[in-house]
Structure 1
Amino acid sequence: MLTSLAVSRFSLFAEAKLSFTPGLNVIIGENSTGKSHLLKLAYVVSALQSESSEETAPEIHFHLDERIAEKLVAVFRPNFLGGLAKRNSGRASGRSRCVVHADFQGHALRFSFAPNSRKKVVIEAHTAPKIAKSPVMLPPKEALSLFPSLVGSYERRELPMDETYYDLCRKFQAGPLKPSQLHPVASLIQELETILRGKVLLEHGRFHVITSDKGKLEIGLLAEGLRKIAQLAYLLLNGTLCRGCTLFWDEPDSNLNPRLIRKVAQALLVTAQAGIQVVIATHSLFLLRELALLNRSHAVETLYTGLEYNSSGVAAHQDEDIEGLPNIAALEEELDQSDRYLEQYLETDQAKNPENDQEPPSAHPKKALR
């Protein structure tokens, strides 16, 4: 599991150091503050650490620098590797290297590259673990409906999408484990199937969900939020996700209505409660509130990371309580809108009913998650 990630001159960040809890990790920030970049970088270093473990592929130790450059370019899709280095006044300095340092429960991976580097990476420290479980990255759009055509297309053609979709579809290729092998996560699968109201089935290369009321449905006929949950269920069924793994999920609330966001929030918490490290990026106040409400009964260790602009770029702040973070613009705007809506509601209501001076039942104080 990832325990910390420090960067210097990476993307929008002059300097940033993040800690990670084994439970639920939530990265918050408005658009263009680097949420997805941090999440993708955390995924890339976790995937590389898994690939370079002694059990997985000892030979990669001799080519790890090339693999780091290859993976960064495939996931972030810059024109060249140095494009990921933070720029000064619109121009990159060839002397200020980008440095990335990740720690995995005592095993470290540290590397750097120059802003003008096309594919050269310098490994400054690396301690390979004997065993490291492969992480899972769920991009904003679900991928079950893209399987299996995406795998073959990505391997043969240039596609305008980052490699996280290809990585995920490859993980769908494994068939389900035997029931005797699912004991550690059997209860989690049952909870996800309860939320899904069905069981996920891979048949003749295509995914379906078998429901009690509608029978067998093609995966594309389900709402996107349910397809996102179906991804989790199947990755548990085929052993890709297991205790000790890390799940990265970029904007799990993307394109979902509030009812489905509630289901996704429940899925996130039961996943973290099952011993799987969860790292998400979001700017949804609704999702944050739902996680806080549900976590009162699940009691999952949670760490919030708030991103905000400052004079040197984007700064990261961390706290176990979201109210301990500085003001997050994306959340403040939603809270401010709630206040303006409430004020207008009260003015209109009092004009129509002067004798009614009570607050409407929907009133909420301006506290982020209380």
Structure 2
Amino acid sequence: MALRKIHMENFSVFSDGNIALSPNLNVFIGANGTGKTQLLKAVYGCCELTTNHRENFQACFQLNAKNKSLARDKKRKVCHFSLSSMDQEAQIITHHLLASDDAGVQNVSYENSLFTKKINAVYLPVKDMLTHSRGLLAMAHKYNDFPFDKTLLDSIECAGRWGLKKPSELAKQILPLLEPLINGIIAIDNDEFYIIKKNGQKINFELEAEGFKKIGILWQFLMNETITENTVLLWDEPEANLNSEFLPVIADCLLALSRQKVQILISTHSYILAKYIEIRAKENDKVLFHSLYKKNDGLVYDEQKRKFSDLQNNTIVTAFEALMDEV
């Protein structure tokens, strides 16, 4: 049940219109401020909408407080974000109430239409949350103004689930690629995360290299079946804190997952990662590269190509070519 289209009106920095999605692997590039992270969070928030938890979309952006909205133009009454799959659609419509309180703060209300079938979505943030996981979820439930949004807290909750004694068939395809990079496996003890090295050494996440932790959370999500067939994986900057020599392996993992019916949306600033995905994709792989770019009107538009090198608005390639000229 892959996602097929995003529709936006007056949402964040984006122009009004549609973004078509590949059922396999989508790679989003763009300069800072073009809304890549907000787009991934909005998709995740739509997938998380349930009848009993209609506030989940807002929680992905910490929008529970007054005068916080994703509307680009607050003079327009509606901010619209909708997400459709092959057979159903969910919508977030934000109405700005005309009445304001004495301080001039405008309240925001939300109207939702929900997916009839739950879509299993997983969000991997740029930030490492597992290092600080102990007691963090309990504190988040206690305090309303906790400074972490739902996407960050959910990554801790998902990673803390019980792992399987034996990896699933899906995990068997990916774990052999990851374990040599971290030289071990992930373990949880008293709500704290560790990497158990092949020599038996147990290293707390606080003491481990950032790049190893990045790979470790993907390992954990596969081992505890947070990521399964028909999962939507949203990964914000997989290359963050990773040595460049690991990027071809990450590209191989993403392509392998997409072949196992995991739909993937990633954002990246890495020429190396994007290029490895392009050159290692097989003929039957449905990879779609998206360039988010601004026009003179200040709005963000989406350009789509099957090949990374075919994108006309490609800030990554522009920066790389400028470096080569200087060299």
TM-score by length of 2: 0.87
- The answer to which structure has the higher strand fraction is 2
- Pairing of 1:267-346 with structure 2 (within 5 A): 267-295=253-281, 300-312=285-297, 313-341=299-327
Give 1:8 deviation, angstroms.
Answer: 0.9
List per-residue Cα deviations over 1:142-184 (Å, max 9, x = no partner).
22212233212222233322221111111123211242x7234
Alpha-carbon displacement from aligned partner over 1:11-60 (angstroms, at most 9, x marks no partner): 01131311222221111100001111111111111222xxx3xxxxxxx2
Distance apart, 1:249 and its partner CA: 0.7
Partner of 2:75: 93
Match of 1:203 in 2: 189
Query: Which residue is equivalent to 2:227?
Result: 241
In the TM superposition, what is the alpha-carbon distance from 1:86 to its structure 2 partner? 1.0
CA contact (8 A) 1:226 1:260 kept: no
User: Hey, what's the Cα distance between the residues in 2 that align with 1:285 and 1:41?
Assistant: 25
User: Counterpart amino acid of 1:39?
Assistant: L
Residue 172 of structure 1 is matched in structure 2 by 159
Q: Which range moved further: 29-38 or 198-207?
A: 198-207
Shift of 1:276: 1.5
> What residue is the counterpart of 1:363 in the other structure?
none
In the TM superposition, what is the alpha-carbon distance from 1:250 to its structure 2 partner? 0.8
2:16 and 2:115 map into 1 onto residues whose CA distance is 23
Between the aligned partners of 1:319 and 1:80, the Cα distance in structure 2 is 40
* Secondary structure of the corresponding residue to residue 22 of structure 1: coil
Deviation digits for residues 89-129 of structure 1, max 9, x if unmatched? xxx2143x111221122111123113456341223x54512
Report the AA paired with residue 149 of structure 1: G
1:289 offset after TM fit, Å? 1.9
Structure 1 counterpart SS, 2:123? strand
- The reply to whether residue 128 of structure 1 matches residue 116 of structure 2 is yes
1:133 Cα shift?
4.1
* CA pair 279-231 structure 1, distance change in 2 beyond 3 A: same
CA distance in 1, matches of 2:208, 2:214: 10
Q: Compare 218-227 and 308-317 and name the one that shifted more.
A: 218-227
**Does 1:16 pair with 2:3?**
no
Aligned pair 1:112/2:101, yes or no? no
Q: CA RMSD in A?
A: 2.4
Structure 1: give runs of 5+ residues left out of the alignment.
Answer: 53-59, 342-370
Q: How far off its partner does 1:72 sit?
A: 3.2
Q: TM-score, normalised by structure 1?
A: 0.77
Matched, 1:140 2:122: no
Offset, 1:185: 2.8
**What amino acid does structure 2 have at the position aligned with 1:302?**
V
What is the Cα deviation at residue 339 of structure 1?
2.0
CA gap of 1:151–1:82, structure 2 versus 1, over 3 A, is closer
Segments of 5+ residues of structure 2 without an aligned counterpart are 98-105
SS of the aligned residue for 1:4 comes to: strand
Alignment partners' CA distance in 2, 1:210 and 1:154: 29
* Partner Cα separation in structure 2 for residue 80 and residue 281 of structure 1: 29
**CA shift in 2, pair 1:300/1:192, >3 Å:** farther
Letter in 2 for 1:128: T
Q: Which has the higher helix share?
A: 1
